[in-house]
């Protein structure tokens, strides 16, 4: 690559990053200020300065700000998880919601809520469910001969099985718990709080640091296992670490919002096209995932107002259309 091409690529990266951040901030402002209760930017500023009335403070600081922040953070986590999966598998269909890790995290959270402790946080169960799903998928793939295609097929099969398990758990739960869990399974940000935001910040911050430290190894694995080994990468260990990090990112997001499809699937591919990189950019995937989810949540809240639909239903519809587009594009 010539020096001029490198400069042009850096400029494009910076310009696209700035544009995505502006769009995300714009969607966040819309999410905080609009709705059945209108709040101007001045009202929002007065909330943070302590000069707003009680109603405005409750709506803005108690409901809308946590929801917007959670959407940005969950989108970041899913974008990063999808980028790791697709880079390791070198397949645009490799994402947590396709290969079963999202369903596994949901199963773990449901077991925690319904069987273990109904009043406890579902985070621990979601993390354990995601990690166990990683282990099961890898064992299945190894038993039939390790390949990227077999790993994805094993994950899809396990995802279908876990979906049935989730439905069974709902039938055995008390009515009130089952009703809340059913809404959670559709992927909703309506009940998020600042405690959830703190959990997301802490978890995603630690896991992102691990990805930064392993970024060079991830880029090497993108070139293939043989090339990575020639560069000194311990491929089995690094691959396992990266899969665990991606599973924990998925579990963290699922614990707060429930399973939300499409984001982890599409964000890495959208980022690759927007940023014009040969591989999948981690930062670009995180920013794209955050922006897509916060926009989707605003649309889910406002499109059929006063009725609000779970954001997971909206992203699921868009994700189905995206998969059809991939199939049509692959035939061409």
Closest CA to 250 of 107, 68, 82, 125: 82
**Which whole number is the average pLDDT over 17-40?**
91
In this structure, what token pair is assigned to residue 110? 């449901």
Give the N- to C-terminal CA distance of the chain in Å, as an integer.
Answer: 30
Q: Which one-letter DSSP state was computed for residue 90?
A: T
CB 258 within 8 A of CB 123: no
In this structure, what token pair is assigned to residue 266? 């599409």
CATH classification of the domain holding 294: 1.10.3470.10
**Which whole number is the average pLDDT over 315-323?**
78
Q: How many residues does the chain have?
A: 332
3-state class of 221 per DSSP? helix
**Residue 104 Cα distances to 197, 300, 332, angstroms:** 22, 25, 34
Domain that holds residue 46: 3-331
| Half-sphere exposure in the Cβ direction for 201 (13 Å, CA) | 8
Report pLDDT digits (tens) over 180-214.
777 778 888 988 889 999 999 999 999 999 999 98
pLDDT recorded at residue 186 = 82
CA distance 257 to 255: 6
**Which whole number is the average pLDDT over 33-61?**
84
Could you tell me which residues come within 8 angstroms of residue 196 by beta carbon, excluding any fewer than 6 positions away?
A: 66, 70, 256
Handedness of CA 74, 80, 81, 86 (dihedral sign): positive
Cis-peptide into 306, omega within 30 deg: yes
Residue 179 in this model has a pLDDT that exceeds 80: no
Residue 144 in this model has a pLDDT that exceeds 60: no
Could you tell me which residues come within 8 angstroms of residue 281 by beta carbon, excluding any fewer than 6 positions away?
A: 13, 83, 271, 272, 275
**Which whole number is the average pLDDT over 168-191?**
80
CA distance 167 to 185: 10
Q: What is the mean pLDDT of the chain?
A: 84
Q: How many domains does the chain have?
A: 1
Task: Give the pLDDT band (50/70/90) at residue 31.
Answer: very high
């Amino acid at each position: 690559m010539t020096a001029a091409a490198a400069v042009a690529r850096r400029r494009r990266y910076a310009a696209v990053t700035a544009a995505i951040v502006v769009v995300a901030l714009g969607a966040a402002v819309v999410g905080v200020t609009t709705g059945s209760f209108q709040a101007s930017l001045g009202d929002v500023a007065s909330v943070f300065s302590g000069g707003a009335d009680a109603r405005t403070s409750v709506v803005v600081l108690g409901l809308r700000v946590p929801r917007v922040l959670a959407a940005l953070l969950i989108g970041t986590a899913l974008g990063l998880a999808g980028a790791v999966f697709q880079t390791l598998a070198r397949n645009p269909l490799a994402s947590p919601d396709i290969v079963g890790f999202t369903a596994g995290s949901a199963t773990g959270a449901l077991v925690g809520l319904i069987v273990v402790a109904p009043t406890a946080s579902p985070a621990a169960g979601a993390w354990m469910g995601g990690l166990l799903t990683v282990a099961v998928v890898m064992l299945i793939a190894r038993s039939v001969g390790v390949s990227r295609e077999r790993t994805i097929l094993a994950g899809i099969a396990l995802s279908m099985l876990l979906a049935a398990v989730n439905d069974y758990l709902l039938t055995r739960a008390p009515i009130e718990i089952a009703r809340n869990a059913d809404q959670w399974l559709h992927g909703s940000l309506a009940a998020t709080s600042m405690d959830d935001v703190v959990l997301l910040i802490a978890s995603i911050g630690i896991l992102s640091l691990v990805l930064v430290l392993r970024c060079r190894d991830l880029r090497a694995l993108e070139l293939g296992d043989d090339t990575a080994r020639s560069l000194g990468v311990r491929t089995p260990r690094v691959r396992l670490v990266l899969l665990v990090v991606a599973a924990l990112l998925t579990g963290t997001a699922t614990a707060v919002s429930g399973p939300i499809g499409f984001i982890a699937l599409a964000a890495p591919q959208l980022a690759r096209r927007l940023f014009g990189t040969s591989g999948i950019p981690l930062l670009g995937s995180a920013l794209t995932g955050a922006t897509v989810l916060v926009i989707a949540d605003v649309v889910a809240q406002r499109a059929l107002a006063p009725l609000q639909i779970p954001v997971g239903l909206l992203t699921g519809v868009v994700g189905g259309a995206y998969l059809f587009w991939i199939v049509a594009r692959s035939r061409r």
